[in-house]
Amino acid sequence: DQQVKQNSPSLSVQEGRISILNCDYTNSMFDYFLWYKKYPAEGPTFLISISSIKDKNEDGRFTVFLNKSAKHLSLHIVPSQPGDSAVYFCAATDNYGQNFVFGPGTRLSVLP
Amino acid sequence: DTGVSQDPRHKITKRGQNVTFRCDPISEHNRLYWYRQTLGQGPEFLTYFQNEAQLEKSRLLSDRFSAERPKGSFSTLEIQRTEQGDSAMYLCASSPGQPMNTEAFFGQGTRLTVV
């Protein structure tokens, strides 16, 4: 049973446009959500996070939106750059932070 | 301190052999995690330490797997009698104890190939 879902295995966008990556979760105990970026042969790199008490968190070109009632979050990248091409993982944890549950990832390709 | 360090980066072993991986977390991070990632999947949780105490283990961690963090600093993950299904990227991550909700920082992983 997959508790964190990323239903789009891949996404292609043009450079300069917006990239929107989606994530759904099923466990209502999750209250902290994170996005990681991963290049081949490297470990995941933390991008941005959001607590369940917020519905939006912004950091430069990256914004994460959380809709608790729908158990849905999304990552917006504006403007997209070729260097953003990577696999993006959504992750979630509960208040104890003992276990980050990851989705299967979405491969983003930003085309020049 | 430049981040989480894992050693070795790559390991090729014959089926049935034992392997051990090492993880050095970021200094003063008292939380340490081990994950496994296979192609096309997200990282899967294996185990979690707070200081030297192993507080949570996934059912993925069969009895052939053992992890230790003897002094609350570095950690080792041992796989005994390796099987081809153990081939994966093994990732270590660490995070500070406070605040409770904070990101984990990952190492570059150890790629295990069982032949």
3 state DSSP class of A84? helix
B26 vs A47, B46, B74, B94, B106, CA distance in Å?
18, 19, 9, 7, 10
Residues 6+ apart with CB under 8 A from B16: B81, B82
Main-chain phi, psi angles of B98, to 5 degrees: -130, 145
The pLDDT tens digits of the residues spanning B6-43 come to 999 999 999 999 999 999 999 989 999 999 999 889 99
3-state percent helix, strand, coil for chain B, nearest multiple of 5: 5, 50, 50
Categorize the per-residue pLDDT at A90 as very low, low, confident or very high, splitting at 50, 70 and 90: very high
What average pLDDT score do residues B84-90 get? 96
pLDDT for position A92: 95
Mutate to test the interface with A, among B7, B47, B59, B101 (most CBs of A within 10 A): B101
Best interface-test mutation with B: which of A4, A23, A29, A96 has the largest number of B CBs within 10 A? Answer: A96
pLDDT in tens, A51-70: 999 999 999 999 999 999 99
